[in-house]
Amino acid sequence: MILVGLLALTACESYLEEKPSDRVPADEAYKTRNELYLNAVAAIYRDVGGSENCQGLQGTGHGVYDLNTFTTDEAIMPTRGADWYDGGYWQALFLHKFEQADGTGDVWNYLMKEIQGCNGSLARIDKFAKAHPNVNVSDLEAEVRALRAMFYFYAMDLYGRVPVFSSTSPSVADLQVKSRSETYRHIVSELQEVAPQLTEERSNLPGTYYGRMTQGAAYFLLAKLMLNAEVYADDDWTDATHPDGKSIKWNVNGQQMNSWEATICYCDRLQALGYQLEGSFQRNFAVNNEQSLENIYTIPMNKYLYDTQFINLFRSRHYNHAAAMGLNGENGSSATIEAITAFGLKRDLNDMSQLDPRFYMTYYAGTALDLNGNIVLLDDGTPLVYEPWHVALDVSGTAWEKTAGARMAKYEVDPTGTKDGKQSDNDIVLFRYSDVLLMRAEALVRNGQDGSEPFNAVRDRVGATPRDCTLDNILTERLLELAWEGWRRNDLIRFDKFTRSYTDRPQLPGESNHYTIVFPIPGEFLTFTGTEQNPGY
Amino acid sequence: MITRLTAIRKWMVTVVAAVLVTTTGWGQNVASIDSMANVIDEDLTSKQVSNPIEAITGRVAGVTVQKSNNGAAAQSAVRVRGTTSLTGGNDPLIIIDGVMGDLNTLSSIYLGDIESFNVLKDASETAQYGSRGASGVIEVKTKRGSNTGPTFNYNGSVGFSSVYKNLKMLSAGGYRDYLTHTGQMLIDKGYDTDWQREIEQTALLHDHHFAFVGGNERGGYRVSVGYMDHEGIILHDRLRNFTSNMSVHQQLFGGVAVIDIGMFGNILKNRTAVYDVQKTFYSAATWNPTFGTERNASGGWDGFTYANQINHPLALMDSRTEDKTMHLSTHAKLTVNLASEWRLTLFGAYSNNDVTTSQYLPTSIWAHGQAYRGTRKTESLMGNLALNWDHRADAHHITATLYGEAQRDKLTGYCTTTTNFTNDQLGYDAIQAGALTQWDGTRSYREVPSMAAAMVTASYDYADRYSLSATARADASSRFGKNNKWGFFPSVSAAWTLSREAWLRDVAWLDNLKLSAGYGLAGNMGGIDSYMSLNVLMPSGIVPVGNEAMVSLGNPKNINPDLKWEVRRTFNVGLNATMLNGWLSASIDYYNSKTSDMLYLYNVSVPPFSFNKLLDNLGSMSNQGLEISLGATVLQRRDMELNINTNLTWQRNKLLSLSGFYNDYWLEAPTHVDIASLNGAGFHGGNNHIVYQVIGQPLGVFYLPHCTGLKSDGNGGYTYEIADLDNDGEATAASDRQLCGQAMPKVLLGANISFRYRNCDLTLQLNGAFGHKIYNGTALTYMNVNSLPGYNVLADAPKQNIVDQTATDYWLERGDYVNFDYVTLGWNVPMGRAKRWVDRLRLSLTVENLATITGYSGLTPMINSSNVNGTLGVDDKNTYPVARTYSLAVSVYF
């Protein structure tokens, strides 16, 4: 009897075991170098873009891009009656009431998930290397470390203090947040260490390194990190003082440099790699922008293959405008008064005397036309006319409820876009060379030198008249050249202008100490690690 | 046992009061001492149901059966003694002739083939089903062959259903007047269309059922086929169900063994144009009434971009969703009487369920159109073995059972979605007419979960007066991690028949009085899917690798290897009595249960977790209730009889806790978590959460700002004035909220009244629910004149001129109702000399959904008030129009 029972139990053990045939045990997914790359490395690249809210560095809603864009004087999501109130999310972002904007914590979760993913990936690579001593995987390791550094860069930029950890199952002790400057120096040293091991090939070009971390991407990040030294090396950003970029020293290839010199050095490196301005500004954002000589790092898009989305156009254009192009629209995001003013738009839209050549390459304003140049009609048969000057935080109930605001036009419309036009073939541009030129110009000026040459090269390319290369003009130029590319918050903070008042955005009580230049850290993390919230929240 | 047999009907809602030996399907005899509600009806075909479960609506205390909507194929939500889990598995286990299934399986049985429903609610009853018993068990027995000569029987009915109540929206005239008067944009196409009427139809319903029954003293057979064809009240809605049921039983070896073989199956087809219930009725109510009902020149439907949350109602009617379900179950049982006191039962069953879903969303409602086709297949093989011992000695009666069971399921499926259709000529029948098939549009899966169980039960009875029984059951499932595969579910129960005691034997008016009590554990694994404890990867995304696109593997959620069963501990006590020679019967039952190790998806910190959700067994919830059933034969004469059966249920649910340690990590759910919210234009995000789960409260409570009244906005409009509940000097819909009632009824009532006069009879079934509230989100939305011109409003809206749709308790209403479920007038035609050819003939006329008595101002108070999901307690633009069904039925026996 007992024997039968025992037999039955042993039989049960196997009977009750799960043997999935539609999934693969984790230990069997990394057997070859190709599988290792695909499942440990490429799997993380997939998350650089996204298809859901808060996921991806750009292209989705409520994510990294929105925190860097709709919190600034560059873009606004007006409440339009029944549309776009979204629980006050957009207004909270614009007004810097970040605690009321549901989902800023999900961006943290996204970035931390990717950092954890990179840690897991490095552990897999390490395990593979031990099991296959003859196969070289050091390039993959360098690549994942560079990728992790990029996610760290965004996390540190958005939240100030972040945990620096390398364990795949970190303990409370592993997760103690570092001061901002420590995290900053860690990211820099990681990138400095791995950059030479990365490929010199282009990342924006379809081929082996399409969408991957390359020297170009790494040096771009290093230039950004150097240029923002005064912000990132500041452990208390609410005390009205910050370190001087000139006195922050770096070792770049054995040479001692200050932050500005280091910025210039990394910009030069990018030039040496062959990056250059495209003849046409718009080619960088064309449907087939993979061949751009200017784009450094992009999110690969293919409307038939990948599920990564790009909603920046979709959520901006008017319904009828989108419909006229055979796509859908959500009639939302618009340019701010500050933005159109900087572009030199006049109340009389026909007065183009001061207008920057990039205005209509960046925005739709006035009468909307379809792709064949026909006027887009509203339901009542009248033409659709975008009203840039009537934009406001809440346009509900006004005659311009549905038409207020200049709309995004920066990327070429892909009329065969899928998923309502949320998927198109234009790769999403994250890093490009005109930013490098402007960084170089800025670093030169900050270092007491003349930055006119790179500065006016950017203006000259679009046929804009040269301007004096002053810090103020550089900030404006960045708005014109890099509008809606996700850098405005970073720029405003560096120029100390993020917390100022502007149209529809009064400074918050207590905001003069700049506490809003970083976002609050999610409560779950604070509770788990016993970390203190960022000051001011 | 109380049995009321009228000459013509055998309606019984009986509370089994004696020690009842039930042959449960899996072949073992269970001596059950607990109360067991048993519903039997011989003439159920007069009500046209799409799933037999609807027949027990309002019949059994403690059981809620609620149709999810008024569509032809609407599913019913069934709750036995409340909601016990937050993650799933709240539907009772359904066992048909020993074959385990769910509510969908039940639609493979024609109601007329059912002999009885046994609803198992008590601790000791549900514990016998171990890991699957926590939400109650409904045993369904189908009719068997007889031991007399062959008979043939036809039941059929024909009827129609038509809408009798719609929302009163502003007519085209009123719409024009208001917009002109207020100087707003008017898009006037010159028509006057009532869109609600335009998408409705008068539905034809007909049912047919044939049964052949026969046999002799050594065996019997029964073969039946049924067909039902039900149109719905919305255009294109149609449900067709073909069922078949066969069973044979035969004695072997001169009666030493009995073999039972049965097979039942169905083909159910359901077609509808309602692919999104809310979008359909929201559009029909609020679409611009000046639009016409004709297609435009290009064959499509005019759009109205200012109403981007809705569609042209007739464009929606161009969409098609079709389901086809094929179910087949076969089962065999061998009972061997080994010796006088020993019996061995072997049972095996195989079932196969195949659901194919096809959907086409035309280009006018979905950019470029979209077609979907998918198949889900569930195969299940199970077997069990039971050895029974039944020993009697003088006044002692002992029974014992040793039982073992094993089951393996195979779940497979695949689906494809294509988009980019040129036009709507082809849909899902030529899915390749869509130019685009995206990577995430095609998928397949396969899961093979297995289960095993072993059980010992024993019962002892002394002199039919005292009885005691105990069960010990162990269950194992492959879905759990290595250390949690097995669960243990014991139970005990006892009963005392007081009326057999000397001191009560002389009380003449008391026929029977019994006190019983039980305690037991039952499990629930509804929230656990396959592979949740394993670190396995699945295709997670497509990435460029070199010049190719490749699929990478990943696991997009946290793994928790420690997941285990939710456990429900129930204590129950009951008193049953029959009096006055069976004229009056009454039972009262009380239960108190607690679900522990309750599963919940917690928000966790990233890092240390990779993802921000973790499912874990932390949390508890309690349910208690009091159930009273009363049956009375008020009048009994030769020509006349009046029977009244009523049941009353009082129930209370409480969410006790959602926190605890996962390893060293403290998990805690927020005290207020929203369950149901409002949707539609202007309701995206924001303070539109209406129903919440709140720790320490019943599941599903309203948590809303308080409206002190309507406030003039100075321009002739009115807004909802919110009270500053937290006294911080600022009244906001976000922070000034209070608890203001629950969504689930506190009291449920069911009553069945039947009256016979000679050969005619009249039966009335009514159901009621009390003590709960309904949020009238439909009125909140449709009273807001600000939604014009995009969305039409209620006819009363301009008069009130509310220009606000902030969700406050202004539209929170009492949900109490009494519904006259149906009334049937029957006539048993006296056959006289014709009896030679026709044994019995009955004609009946039924009106379903006769009337509802309620104070609720919306379309109907019968919205979802039992199923914990995004519609609980909220009437939000998604209610089907209210319809009545009239049907004529004939039943003939040869």
Would the CB atoms of B540 and A37 count as touching at under 8 Å?
no
pLDDT of the residue at B34: 29
Of A197, A220, A246, the one marking the end of a domain is A197
Q: Which residues of B touch A84 (CB under 8 A)?
A: 684
3-state secondary structure of B142: strand
Considering the domain boundaries, does residue A418 fall inside one? no
pLDDT over 80 at B37, yes or no: no
Q: Quick one: tokens of B625?
A: 């209730």
> Is B605 within 8 Å of A524 when comparing Cβ atoms?
yes
pLDDT for res B894: 87
Q: What is the DSSP letter of A508?
A: P
The answer to whether B685 contacts A18, with C-beta atoms less than 8 Å apart, is: no
A289 inside domain: yes
Last residue of a domain, one of A143, A175, A197: A197
Query: Is B305–A378 a contact, with Cβ atoms under 8 angstroms apart?
Result: yes
When pLDDT is cut at 50, 70 and 90, the band that residue A343 belongs to is very high
Chain-centre distance for alpha carbon A458: 21
The residue behind tokens 């403690």 is B62
- A323 interaction partners in chain B (CB closer than 8 Å): 303, 305
Residues B767-794: b if buried by 16+ CB within 10 A, e if exposed:
bbbbbbbbbbbbbbbbbbbbbbbbbbbb
Q: Which span out of A294-298, B126-130, B685-689, B798-802 was modeled with the highest average pLDDT?
A: A294-298
d(CA A62, CA B522): 44
Same domain? A299 vs A443: yes
Q: Which residues of B touch A304 (CB under 8 A)?
A: 436, 438
What is the chain B residue with the closest CA to A170?
A: B608
Asked which of A369-378, A516-525, B664-673 is least confident by mean pLDDT, the reply is B664-673
Query: Is B610–A420 a contact, with Cβ atoms under 8 angstroms apart?
Result: no
Q: Alpha carbon of B658 to those of A54, A330, B608, B671, B690: distances in Å?
A: 27, 39, 21, 9, 20
Chain A interface, mutation test: which of B180, B287, B417, B605, most A Cβ atoms within 10 Å? B605
Q: Is residue A11 part of a domain?
A: no
Q: Is B803 exposed, middle or buried (0-12, 13-18, 19+ CB in 10 A)?
A: middle
Question: Looking at residue A4, what is its pLDDT?
Answer: 58
On whether both A209 and A137 belong to a single domain, the answer is no
* Nearest CA distance, A273 vs chain B (angstrom): 21
Give the ipTM of the model, two decimals please.
0.87
CA angle B168, B169, B171 (to 5 degrees): 115
CB contact under 8 A, B436 and A418: yes
Please tell me the predicted confidence (pLDDT) of residue A204.
Answer: 95
Query: Average per-residue pLDDT in chain A?
Result: 94
Q: Which of residues 25-84 of B touch A (CB under 8 A)?
A: none
Sole residue written with tokens 């509770």: A527
User: Do both A167 and A241 map to the same domain?
Assistant: no
The helix/strand/coil state of A511 is: helix
Q: Considering only CB atoms, which chain B residues are within 8 Å of A169?
A: 608
pLDDT of residue B686: 66
Residues of A in contact with B306 (CB under 8 A): 379, 402
Q: In whole angstroms, what is the distance from residue B222 CA to residue B827 CA? A: 27
**Which run of H or E residues covers position B278?**
helix B277-286
CB contact under 8 A, B438 and A83: no
Flag if A86 and B606 touch (Cβ within 8 Å): no
Full-model pTM: 0.89
Q: If you measure CA to CA, which chain B residue comes closest to A167?
A: B608
The answer for residues whose C-beta is within 8 angstroms of residue A381's C-beta and 6 or more apart is none
Class of domain B12-146: mainly beta
**Token pair 């939500």 is at which residue?**
B77
According to the model, what pLDDT value does residue A131 have? 96
Name which residue leads in pLDDT, B423 or B411.
B411
Q: Which residues are CB-neighbours of B838 under 8 A, at least 6 positions away?
A: B831, B892, B893, B894
Q: If you search the block for the tokens 């549900």, which residue do you land on?
A: B126
Q: From the centroid of its chain, how far is CA B383?
A: 27
A381 domain-assigned? no
pLDDT of residue A6: 52
Shared domain check, A188 and A163 = yes
The predicted pLDDT at position B28 comes to 30
Interface test with B, best of A1, A9, A12, A16 (most B CBs within 10 A): A16
Q: Given an 8 Å threshold on Cβ–Cβ distance, is A39 in contact with B537?
A: yes
Q: Which residue of B has its CA nearest to A423?
A: B438
pLDDT at residue A119 greater than cutoff 70: yes
Å from B836 to nearest chain A CA? 60
Q: Does residue A129 lie in a domain region?
A: yes
CATH number at residue A108: 1.25.40.390
User: pLDDT: is A418 or A187 the higher one?
Assistant: A187
User: What's the pLDDT band for B30 if we cut at 50, 70, 90?
Assistant: very low
pLDDT for A242 beyond 90:
yes
* Tens digits of residue pLDDT in B605-647: 989 998 999 999 999 999 999 999 999 998 888 899 999 999 9
| Nearest CB partner across the interface for A16, out of B450, B604, B610 | B450
Q: How far apart are CA B506 and CA B500, in angstroms?
A: 10
Judge if A108 and A253 occupy the same domain.
Answer: no
Q: How many domains does chain A have?
A: 2
Selected residue of B610, B665, B784 to mutate for chain A interface (largest A Cβ count, 10 A): B610
Nearest to A23 among B406, B537, B605 (CB): B537
B149: which DSSP letter?
Answer: S
Would the CB atoms of A307 and B684 count as touching at under 8 Å?
A: no
pLDDT at B3: 28
| DSSP tag of A374 | P
CA distance B475 to chain A (A): 11
Q: Is the pLDDT of residue B652 over 70?
A: yes
pLDDT at residue B4 tops 80: no
Note the pLDDT tens digit of each residue in B389-403: 999 998 999 999 999
State the average pLDDT for chain B.
89
Token look-up 């005390």 returns: A239
Between B419, B535, B543, which is nearest A25 by CB?
B535
CA distance B757 to B769: 31
| Mean per-residue pLDDT, A260-278 | 97
Of A197, A230, A251, the last residue of a domain is A197
Cβ contact A524–B603 (<8 Å): yes
Q: Token digits for B664?
A: 């060293």
Q: A249, A32, A165, A3: which is closest to A529 by C-alpha?
A: A165
Residue B14 has pLDDT above 50, yes or no: no
* pLDDT attached to residue A503: 96
Give pLDDT tens digits for B43-89.
Answer: 555 567 778 888 888 888 889 888 888 888 888 889 999 899 998 88
Reported confidence tier of residue B481, pLDDT bands at 50, 70, 90: confident
Cα distances (angstroms) measured from residue B883 to each of A113, A126, B850: 52, 67, 9
For residue A413, give the DSSP letter: P
Residue A338 covered by a domain: no
Average the pLDDT over each of A10-14, A159-163, A166-170, B313-317 and give the range with the smallest value. Answer: A10-14
Q: Could you tell me the pLDDT band of residue A12, with boundaries at 50, 70 and 90?
A: low
If asked whether residues A140 and A273 sit together in one domain, one would say no
Distance from CA of A121 to the nearest CA of B (A): 11
**Which chain A residue is nearest to residue B422, measuring alpha carbons?**
A326
Query: Do A45 and A157 belong to one domain?
Result: yes
pLDDT of residue B713 exceeding 90: no
**What is the pLDDT, as a whole number, of residue B44?**
52
Q: Which of A477-486, B576-585, B660-669 has the highest mean pLDDT?
A: A477-486
Which tens digit of pLDDT belongs to each residue from B490-516? Answer: 999 999 999 988 888 888 889 999 999
Asked if B406 lies within 8 A of A420 by C-beta distance, the reply is no
Minimum CA–CA partner of B689 in chain A: A87
Asked, for residue A146, whether it belongs to a domain, the answer is yes
Q: Which residue has the tokens 């089994």?
A: B16
**Residues A45 and A135 occupy one common structural domain:** yes
Is B878's pLDDT higher than 60? yes
CB B595 within 8 A of CB B567: yes
- Which residues in chain B have their CB less than 8 angstroms from residue A164's CB? none
Which residues partner with B125 through β-bridges?
none
Residue B889 pLDDT more than 60?
A: yes
Same domain, A293 and A241: yes
Please give, rounded to a whole number of angstroms, the shortest distance from the CA of B688 to a CA of chain A.
Answer: 8
pLDDT tens-place string over residues B206-252: 999 999 999 988 999 999 999 999 999 999 999 999 999 999 999 99
pLDDT of residue A276: 97
Q: What is the pLDDT of residue B36?
A: 38
Mutation target for B interface from A1, A10, A17, A23: give the one with most B CBs within 10 A.
A23
| Rounded CA separation A312/A326 (Å) | 17
Assess B610–A contact: CB distance below 8 Å, yes or no: yes
Which residue from A26, A304, A320 is facing B438, i.e. has the nearest CB?
A: A304
Residues A243 and A187 in one domain: no
Q: Which stretch, A354-358, B180-184, B760-764, has highest mean pLDDT?
A: A354-358
- CB contact B296 to A (< 8 Å): no
Across the interface, whether the CB atoms of A16 and B538 are under 8 A apart is answered: no
Tell me which chain A residue has its CA closest to the CA of residue B303. Answer: A379
**Number of residues written out for chain B:** 894
Question: Distance between CA B590 and CA A30 in Å, rounded?
Answer: 58
Asked if the peptide bond before residue B789 counts as cis, ω within 30 degrees of 0, the response is yes
Please check whether residues A221 and A276 belong to one and the same domain: yes
Asked if pLDDT for residue B274 goes beyond 80, the answer is yes
Q: Percent helix, strand, coil in chain A (nearest 5)?
A: 45, 10, 45
Supply the pLDDT for residue B87.
87
Residues A74, A64: Cα–Cα separation, whole Å: 15
Whether the predicted pLDDT of A1 surpasses 90: no
A192 and A223 inside one domain: no
**For B805, which residue in chain A has the nearest alpha carbon?**
A82
Are the C-beta atoms of B562 and B534 separated by less than 8 Å? no
**pLDDT over threshold 80, residue A163:** yes
CATH of the domain at A452: 1.25.40.10
What is the span of the domain harbouring residue A281? 200-307+430-470
Tell me which chain A residues have a C-beta less than 8 angstroms from the C-beta of B477: 16
Quick check: is A167 in a domain?
Answer: yes
